[in-house]
Amino acid sequence: MSTVGNLLYRLLLKYSPTGREEEAVEELSRWASEKGLQTWIDGIGNVYISPPGPKRALVLLAGHIDTVEGWIEPGIDAGRVWGRGAVDAKGPLASMAAAILELSRENPGCPAAAVGLVGEEGDSRGAWFLVSQNGVPPYVVIGEPSGGDRVVVGYRGGFHAEIECRGAGGHSSSPAIGDSALDKAVRLYIALKNAYPGEEPGKPSAAVTGLESGEAWNVLPRKALLRVDVRVPPGHSLESVKDELARLAGDHGCSTRFSQGVPPIRVKTGDPVPRSLVRSLLQQGVRPRPVVKMGTSDMNILGPRSESIAAYGPGDPRMAHTGYEEVSIRELELAVKVYSGAVRYLCRSTGKASAAELPS
């Protein structure tokens, strides 16, 4: 059986939605120990794998071990593996771990490690912990599904908006003379759909993901709350989009509260990490394509603290967060070769970069 396919199946058997990653973390650590690799868990719950030796890395393969909610019964056959997280993002993480195993059998010329970060689908606490501990190595490869032939050189940033609409209310028998907060919220919802439809990747999008309102059958609502997920592409600032949303909400008599959010990121294709992934794909006979993804990832957080970063991974990103996730074993094994090849290239061309101490 495929080493990486078997590892992915083992990880999929451990349900690990954000905040409940412990069993999957222990399973990955157990696998690494079985293979003679060094493994440890840091103070926030991230799990690391490296060849035996100092807990340092010049190159970090950074995946995430948490998933969105929703159990999908895992399975494996000769050609594919399926289950919650097979695509996003235990598939990339399994390939990264298998790449470290492959690299441990040789001397690539510099220290490298893989990490399964916790909380990526939530508050990214695993990535933020790495930042807080000054543990971001110079070169970082993010493990996210990219279709196997695409190198991700950018992600949109984003933030959350809570928009509160208020009204005087009134009797439901006379809505024409009342003042319904829900009416304001619905009009604002339509305005948001028109202003930020999300049809063009180069423009901000705003998706209403929740609406709360209502007091009683015969009372016009005096309060309505919209939850909005806002994504901001490279070339736009979070603050400018927040200002636009606040003005739009104010025009409808509503007020806004924003999360801090993370800014968008875009790197040059000629930078060391994307170049290493492109070269590695070419060595495998794959013609790579640079892309900017519509979502956000831990690349947005770790990128500004690294010297070079990019994302790559097996799996069709259109399957992420769906009711059915599957990835081919062929694509998983290709990713192992691409990751290990990229590490070798970076180790040969590191220049004056220094390895970082990893949290332990």
Contact, 293 vs 151, CB < 8 A?
no
Tokens representing residue 82 in the block: 């399926």
Residue 325 annotated as catalytic? no
Q: Phi-psi category of 36—alpha, beta or left, where left has phi over 0 and alpha has psi -120 to 50?
A: left
Neighbours of 282 (CB within 10 A): 13
Catalytic residue among 120, 121, 144, 183: 120
What is d(CA 278, CA 120) in angstroms, rounded to the nearest whole number?
25
**Extended strands (E) in the chain:** 38-41, 47-50, 56-57, 59-64, 75-76, 80-82, 112-117, 139-143, 150-155, 157-166, 170-171, 205-213, 219-220, 223-232, 254-258, 265-266, 289-293, 308-312, 326-328, 356-357
Residue 120 annotated as catalytic? yes
What is d(CA 38, CA 47) in angstroms, rounded to the nearest whole number?
11
Contact, 204 vs 196, CB < 8 A?
yes
Contact, 296 vs 127, CB < 8 A?
no
Beta bridge partners of 232: 157
What is d(CA 126, CA 148) in angstroms, rounded to the nearest whole number?
25
Contacting residues for 174 by C-beta, under 8 A, at least 6 apart: none
Q: Supply angle C-alpha 289, 290, 294, rounded to 5.
A: 120
Catalytic residue among 66, 88, 144, 298: 66
Active-site amino acid positions: 66, 120
